[in-house]
Amino acid sequence: MAHIVSTRPLIDEGLSGVRDDHTLTVCDPPDGSTRSVDDLIALTDGADVLLSVLADPITEELFAARPELQMVAQYAVGVDNIDLDAAAAHDVAVTHTPDVLTDATADQAWALLLAAARRVPAADRYVREGRFERWETTLLMGTELSRKTLGIVGMGRIGTAVARRALGFGMEVVYHNRTRANPTVERQVNARYVGLDELLKTSDVVSLHCPHNEDSHHLLDAAAFANMKASALLVNTARGPVVDEAALVDALANGEIAGAGLDVFEEEPDVHPGLVEQERVVLAPHLGSATTGTRTRMAQMCVASITALLEGADHVPHRLV
């Protein structure tokens, strides 16, 4: 019987596969804070498997302190928080949950886009505060999306799913990627490959779906915002550091772009105060995968990987290390 430590509470239905056969310890910081490496070292005393989330710093220090650790099962697609080289050096398996959240995250991108375009949060506050006294001709004017141009940065699974939804809005889709997408995919979503500068100059909406790495860090900076339409909207459901938040605040304040919908933040969970103050920005607490079905399937994928490793299977699903 193995000892599995989960750093956050997950949907019980998804964890049923390990509760019966192993010892499962589910932790949650009482103050809602994120954990340090020292916290994780303390939590993993005697653990065989660590079930982690993106906010957990999984480092060389942790692996060195817990040589009995066999596996890190990441409850996420991204593994930015895990030192994969250190895991390999310490012979610790690492798995993640790819492909499961494509549609949920694409839906979230569109939810943020529609909310920003039609000023839904401001309208909601207006009604709740008792200010709705009569229909007005110019109240909370928004932006139509029909026949506008959607620029997608990162045409992977999620970016493609976002582009597919744009067909229903009659939008033109352009995209930028490190490599051009398969021509069949381009035809299916009626998307045109362009350089980043052209995408920024011509798009009415810029939606980010690229990974965060050295090349994409602050990909949208002051120069990028200056290149965008004054009427453009930015949507980010990718990674916070892809956007220079200080530059975004300045761009919004100076009218270089019209608004934004953000599900991720540069110093998450901290949010730049200038974004909080902006009426034209829609903010969400990293809800891209936050549907009951998706989060349950993510837990089930972690369980399948853990079970395979502990049972000595020849193949461990979704293994990176």
Tell me the pLDDT tens digit for each residue of 115-145: 999 999 999 999 999 999 999 999 999 999 9
The whole-angstrom separation of Cα 296 and Cα 128 is 33
Query: What average pLDDT does range 43-55 have in this prediction?
Result: 96
Segments of the chain assigned E as strands: 3-6, 23-26, 49-52, 71-74, 93-95, 149-153, 172-176, 191-193, 205-208, 233-236, 259-262, 281-283
> What pLDDT does 272 receive?
97
Q: 239, 272, 295, 297: which is the annotated catalytic residue? A: 239
User: Is 233's pLDDT higher than 90?
Assistant: yes
Establish whether 60 is a catalytic residue.
Answer: no
pLDDT category of residue 12 using cuts at 50, 70 and 90: confident
pLDDT category of residue 19 using cuts at 50, 70 and 90: confident
pLDDT category of residue 32 using cuts at 50, 70 and 90: low
Q: 118, 164, 217, 286: which is the annotated catalytic residue? A: 286
232 close to 185: Cβ distance less than 8 angstroms: no
Query: What average pLDDT does range 190-203 have in this prediction?
Result: 98
pLDDT category of residue 224 using cuts at 50, 70 and 90: very high
> What pLDDT does 184 receive?
96
304 close to 95: Cβ distance less than 8 angstroms: no
Establish whether 218 is a catalytic residue.
Answer: no
Q: Name which of 10-14, 141-145, 308-312 the model is least confident about.
A: 10-14
Angle between the N-to-C axes of helices 157-166 and 102-117, in degrees from 0 to 180, rounded to the nearest 10: 50
The domains of the chain, with CATH numbers, are 3-99+291-310 (3.40.50.720), 102-283 (3.40.50.720)
174 close to 152: Cβ distance less than 8 angstroms: yes
Q: Tokens at residue 274, please? A: 């200038």
For 240-284, write each residue's pLDDT tens digit: 999 999 999 999 999 999 999 999 999 999 999 999 999 999 999
The whole-angstrom separation of Cα 252 and Cα 241 is 18
Query: What average pLDDT does range 102-117 have in this prediction?
Result: 98
Q: For the chain, what's the residue count?
A: 321
Q: Tokens at residue 80, please? A: 């930015």
> What pLDDT does 20 receive?
82
> What pLDDT does 16 receive?
82
> What pLDDT does 13 receive?
85
Establish whether 272 is a catalytic residue.
Answer: no
> What pLDDT does 110 receive?
98
Q: 218, 268, 280, 319: which is the annotated catalytic residue? A: 268
Query: What average pLDDT does range 297-303 have in this prediction?
Result: 96
User: Is 4's pLDDT higher than 80?
Assistant: yes
Provide the mean pLDDT of the chain.
96
Q: When comparing pLDDT for 16 and 70, which is higher?
A: 70
